[in-house]
Structures are given as C-alpha cells and as structure tokens.
Amino acid sequence: MNKRKLTALFAACAMLCGCGNGQTAGTTTAAPSETTTAAFSEGTGTTVEYIPFTELSYREQAERIVSGMTLEQKIAQMITISLRWWSDTPDDPDSFAAVTELNDRQKEFLAKYDFGGLILFKQNCADTEQIVRLTASVQDAARASEQGIPMLISVDQEGGNITRLTTGTMTCENMALGAAGDAQSTRDNAVIIGSELAALGINTDYAPDSDVNNNPANPVINVRSFSSDPKLVAKLALAYVQGLESEGVISTAKHYPGHGDTGTDSHTGLPMIDKSYDELKQTELVPFAAVADEADMIMTAHIQFPQIETETYKSIDSGEEISLPATLSKKMIKDILRGDMGYDGVVTTDDMLMDAINVNFDPIDSAVLAINADVDIILEPIQVMSAKDIAQDEYIGKLVAAVNDGRIAESEIDDSVVRIITLKLEKGIIGMEAVNADTAAISAKTIVGSKEHHNKELEVALRAVTLVKNDDNTLPLVMQENEKVAYFYPYAGEENTMTFALDRLKADGVIPDSVTAECHAFTENSESSDYEGLANDVAGYEELIKGCKAIIIATETYRTGNMDRTDEKRAWQAVFSDEMTALAHKIGIKVIHLSMHMPYDAVRYTDADAVLCAYCGNEMPEVPTEYNGNTQTYGVNYPAALITVFGGSTPTGKLPIDLPAYTEGVGYSDEIVYPIGYGLTY
C-alpha cells in the first residue's frame, strides 16, 4: 500500500484513548509506524494521548479507518466488480476481447472509485505468469486510489467443473470428496486450491459450496455438493474452509440458506423452495451453522422461501408480485443468519447479474434491499465492458441518495464496511507490500500445477471412485499380453485419459506393456435426435470390438435429459450406450460403464456388467508431461476411474447420496436402488 496515503488515512481516523489498556486479541503490526505515536491538540491547549493504532483490535482499527471515509467511498468498498470482457468499440459485438491485462482506462477506473473487490473469471485467467501480473496491476491501481486500500480479488475455484484457472491443478468435485468421505482428503484438496490462489495473488475464493444436494434433478448444484447428508456436508465444508484459510485465502460458504433442493438454476430463473424454517434447520442450514464460527464470508442464494420471507416485490419483467429471495431478505440475513446463527462475518450476494435478480429487480432497488437485509458486499451489480461503462458515479450516487433520503440507514453502510475492512486487516490485505510481478511469477510457477499437487489430486480422486455393480467379478479387469479393450466416451478430449491411465498402469507393472485400447468419441453432437443413425454407428463397431476383452463406456450426465430417451435433444449418450451394450452382450463381451458426472445415472445403466461412479467428467486436453506452473488443468476423475477398472487401485468410495429409481419420461421415484453409503470393493 502507498505508505503516504495509508499513514494519512490512519492519522485522520485516529481515536481518543478512552478505555483501551494495551494490546488486544487480533492485533496487527501492518500499519505504518508514524501512526503509533499519534497525538495532537484538541484546541484546548492540552495535548491528548491516543491509543497506538497497532494496539487496537482489528475491528477497532477498521472503525478508525471507516470513520475517515466519505459515504461514496464506503459504498464503493461494498461493491465487487468484474472486468471480464472489454471493447473500445462496443457497438461492434465482435470486438469484445477477454481482459488478461489492464489497459490505462481500466487502471484509471479502479483508481477512481475505491472499489472493495474484483472478481476474476476464466476469461481473465490465461496462464500462471499472466494472472500474477494481472492481480499485481489490479492492486497497484487500488493503491493509487484516494483511500489506497487493496482489493478482495476473488474467483470461483471450487474444484472440478467449477474452476476458473486454466493452468494449475483442477482437483475434484465436492461430491467426489463426499464419496471419499474423510475430512483430510477435503482439507488436502482445499490446501492445494488455496496455495495456488495465494501464489497468484488471488486472496478470496467463492468456495466451498455448502449446499445439501437433496434433489437429484438439481440442474446447477448436484456434484458441486458434497452429499445429500447435511452432517457429512457440514463436516467436509468445515474441513474445506480450514484448508483454504490455512493458506491465507478467504473462504466463502455458499449458497446460503441452501440451493440443493431446487429444480431451477438461478442463473436463468428465480427458484423457489417451499419449506418452513424448521424444515430448513433440519437440512439446508446444518452446514452453514457448522461453519458460521469459521467461514470468512457467506454467499447468499437468489432463491425464494415464501414460508419464511413474506415480503414481495413487483417483478419489472412480469409485473407479478414475487417473494423476496434470500439475498434481499431481512428475515433470512439479519434475523436468521446474523441473529439466530450468530454470524458476524462478511456476507456477499451471489452475482447480481444472474437472471434471478437482474431480470426481476431494478438494480438500485435490489442493492437497497440487500443492504437493508444486512448484506455487506454487492457482487457484480453492473457490467463493465467498455469506456462508456466505467463512469459509476450514477450507480454510487443513487445509493448515496438512498442513504440521504432515509431508504438506507448510514449505520448499515458503516457496519458492513467495518466488517469488510476488518477482514482485510485480519488477512494482511491492508498493509501488504506491492508485488514484484517478475519475482512473484517465478515463485508461483513452483507452486501452481506442481507435480506434488497433481499427484495429490489423483490420489484423492482414486479414493472417491465408487463401485456400485460388479456382476461375476467383472472387475478388476485383468489384462494379459497383447489384449486390448475398446473405450467409448462422449467428447474427443477424453481420449488422453486412457493414454494417461495405461502409461501409469504399465509403469506400475499392473498390466503388460503390450496392452492397448481402441479409443473412440462416439459423438459430439449434443443436439442429435437421429437415434437410428446412432444405432448404425454402433453396428459399424462390431468388427472392432470382437477382438476386445471388454468394452468401457463413459457417459456424462449433466441433467436428467441426458439419460432419458424421451428427450430427443439430449439423450444421445444414453442411446449410444444402450445400443453398444446390447451389441457387446450379443457377441459375448462384458461391458463396464463409467458414470462420469451426476452419479444418479448409475441406475440407468445397470445392463452393464460393472458400473462405477467417478463424479466429474472433465477432460484431459493433453497428456501432462511437465509440471512447470503452466500445465493445462485437466480432470483426474476419468483416469482415476480407468486405473481402478484395471486394478491399479481398489475402489473405496461410498455413495454420498441415495440413488433413486428413474423412469424415462416420468422422472425419479421414491424407490432407492442404491442407498447412501453403498459401495463395493475388490
């Protein structure tokens, strides 16, 4: 931080010595030494002695800092913005490019407004060195602002399918961690994520997802959840929080009060959960109660709970009265989270540009409602994509007007900014030295995507693999000299997972060097409804598979339509698997089915001789050969499943959810085919 600005800020915010008596819990020595001897005349001719700044608690220091801010600056500290895309000619829709470095206009924008945070997306993250330079320049711009306070630089790095880093270590989906079942695996996963983010200059992670996935048809959470068991989610969410925070990275439990029992994605609609408070306390709220004393931040969900929050708002889209979602609900935030659960940390909204909010609420109204509900951070309320977007005086000015006319109490603003500044002090963000990007990039390359991290992520993925069917001891698949298998998968990027697995198995002496695999992506056309064409494709493989010891078929189910033949747009994987399984069995070849994403589809493919669940279908764009900080991220759950198939690992995973029966064209039933905790082994 600019020492002159910080010194002036702290001196301007100095408080009289009233009742302090020395060092208090949670103090820091980050403030400049000039502030530790502050004393001045009150104008009465007497010199008043002040408490040294560093002998105040973090919260007291924050109160001192906030007292020297203008209302505009305080509101800006409550806003997290993004710079995902940029164009100098925004009227041309093809002119927008990903922001991987700051231009002069963007630097001036960050320096002008004293924003509290910036969220990064995948478009901002090209490689390790580039991310280090970007985060360093963001903080330099923040230091150049009038207040000079560094930003919360945040990212959604949950692991598995929800990752933003394109280099480094992807790690496992939460549901894979739930299948592994032990807190240490989850903590190890989070330590990898936290150490890599910290090395890149990213100080805030919007993780862990702490939702209880108690709806198999959930289109947005699903494998992002650890489990349908609230106690297991609570245990692993806490371990994840502790793992991130051990690396100095801010944790964010989400999506309070729970997004696991929805059938609608809040990115594209406004979900509703029609449950009472007592019902939520039995399930959804259990993990948030467990982490309330430890999580640095909690993120809200854009979900209606009409039995709890009865206040309504007239949708600007439909004109209908809608219940206030949790993000904007006093009952959910102030009364339950803050009051009943005792949480006094930072509360952030989910992205306010998601359709659940953006389509239904005026942006100023939604911010006013959120602040009055006791939310501290408004996440991405407005897109900033060109020079015409960087003038935020109107948005901030309207919120200032809302304070001045009494719609928001300034005390609400003060409380929120004190929490934000307290967190920045606790994490050493205020007081941090400017980063030398060259030096930091060299260091980051030894951490991000290190061999140690990649080995650990595979180790955890192997623990997660769950065997739910193994007729006639089909597995492990014992291979002899010159034998081969056929491997079918949805997308071309999965071919390398077999190469990776076979190389490891051969190196470990599990299979002979002469074993081979015929690898085929069966289609990449997710809009195909030509079932007859798919059947003909399968028939064309008959000669190839006749010489194979077994057939391995992987499918990736992201929604129920992927496994339901009545869905003509999405069921192409199911159709191919059905036809190939029937063909293989006709000629006496066994079939091993890999459920590579939602494990709920395991009940759909029980015609196979063996079925395993691996919980994440991320591909492997290239076979990794070097670990130098710029290795492309790759999924490890595919190779973990394949290694297990051939006996390179014994399956130990247990289902973290119940697998209910599924009827095509109807949906899930109450009948449980495989219960939570089920899992076979060799």
- CATH number for 209: 3.20.20.300
* 3-class DSSP assignment, residue 431: coil
Clarify whether residues 160 and 17 are in a common domain: no
Cβ-based neighbours of 122, under 8 Å, separated by 6 or more? 163, 164, 166
* Maximal CA-CA distance, the chain: 102
Clarify whether residues 548 and 599 are in a common domain: yes
Cα–Cα distance between 291 and 299 in angstroms, integer? 12
Helix axes 437-447, 128-143, angle to 10 degrees: 140
Give the count of domains, the chain: 3
pLDDT at 9: 47
Clarify whether residues 198 and 259 are in a common domain: yes
Clarify whether residues 504 and 644 are in a common domain: yes
Cβ-based neighbours of 335, under 8 Å, separated by 6 or more? none
Clarify whether residues 245 and 385 are in a common domain: yes
Picking from 446, 466, 499, the residue at the C-terminal end of a domain is 446
In a domain, 86, yes or no: no
Picking from 420, 446, 472, the residue at the C-terminal end of a domain is 446
| Model pLDDT for residues 178-200, shown as the tens digit of each residue | 999 999 999 999 999 999 999 99
In a domain, 66, yes or no: no
Q: Which residue reads 């895309």 in tokens?
A: 85
pLDDT at 268: 79
379 and 351 Cβ atoms separated by less than 8 Å: yes
In a domain, 650, yes or no: yes
Identify the active-site residue in 350, 374, 564, 658.
350
pLDDT at 48: 40
pLDDT at 379: 98
Six-digit token pair at 399? Answer: 């919120």
In a domain, 467, yes or no: yes
In a domain, 69, yes or no: no
Clarify whether residues 192 and 341 are in a common domain: yes
Q: What are phi and psi of 472, to 5 degrees?
A: 55, 30
458 and 169 Cβ atoms separated by less than 8 Å: no
In a domain, 78, yes or no: no
Clarify whether residues 110 and 12 are in a common domain: no
Helix axes 183-200, 128-143, angle to 10 degrees: 70
Picking from 18, 40, 55, the residue at the C-terminal end of a domain is 55
Six-digit token pair at 42? Answer: 């009150």
- Please state the pTM of the whole predicted model: 0.91
Q: Which residues of 453-481 are buried (b: 16+ CB within 10 A; e: fewer)?
A: bbebbbebbbbbbbbbbbeeebbbbebee
Clarify whether residues 382 and 271 are in a common domain: yes
In a domain, 8, yes or no: yes
Cα 524 to the chain's mean position, in Å? 27
Task: Tell me whether strands 659-663 and 484-489 are parallel, antiparallel or unpaired.
Answer: unpaired
pLDDT at 535: 54
Six-digit token pair at 291? Answer: 């982490």
Cα–Cα distance between 172 and 223 in angstroms, integer? 10
pLDDT at 31: 40
pLDDT at 321: 96
Cα–Cα distance between 156 and 252 in angstroms, integer? 10
353 and 361 Cβ atoms separated by less than 8 Å: no
Clarify whether residues 428 and 561 are in a common domain: no
Nearest Cα to Cα of residue 489 among 499, 479, 477, 478:
499
110 and 143 Cβ atoms separated by less than 8 Å: no
Start-to-end CA distance of the chain, whole Å, equals 57
Listed in sequence order, the DSSP H helices in 407-464 are 410-426, 437-447, 451-464
267 is a catalytic site residue: yes
Clarify whether residues 45 and 159 are in a common domain: no
pLDDT at 160: 95
Task: Tell me whether strands 667-674 and 484-489 are parallel, antiparallel or unpaired.
Answer: unpaired
Run of H or E including 600: none
Domain, as residue range, for 486: 455-674
Clarify whether residues 49 and 170 are in a common domain: no
Residues lower than pLDDT 50 in the chain:
1-49, 524-529
CA distances from 333 to 154, 273, 328, 336 (A): 22, 16, 8, 6
pLDDT at 265: 78
Q: What are phi and psi of 518, to 5 degrees?
A: -90, 115
pLDDT at 531: 52
609 is a catalytic site residue: no
CATH number of the domain that residue 622 is part of: 3.40.50.1700
DSSP E strand stretches across 284-343:
297-300, 312-314, 321-323
In a domain, 593, yes or no: yes
Identify the active-site residue in 267, 365, 414, 585.
267
Give 519's strand partners: 487
Clarify whether residues 573 and 509 are in a common domain: yes
Cα–Cα distance between 45 and 666 in angstroms, integer? 84
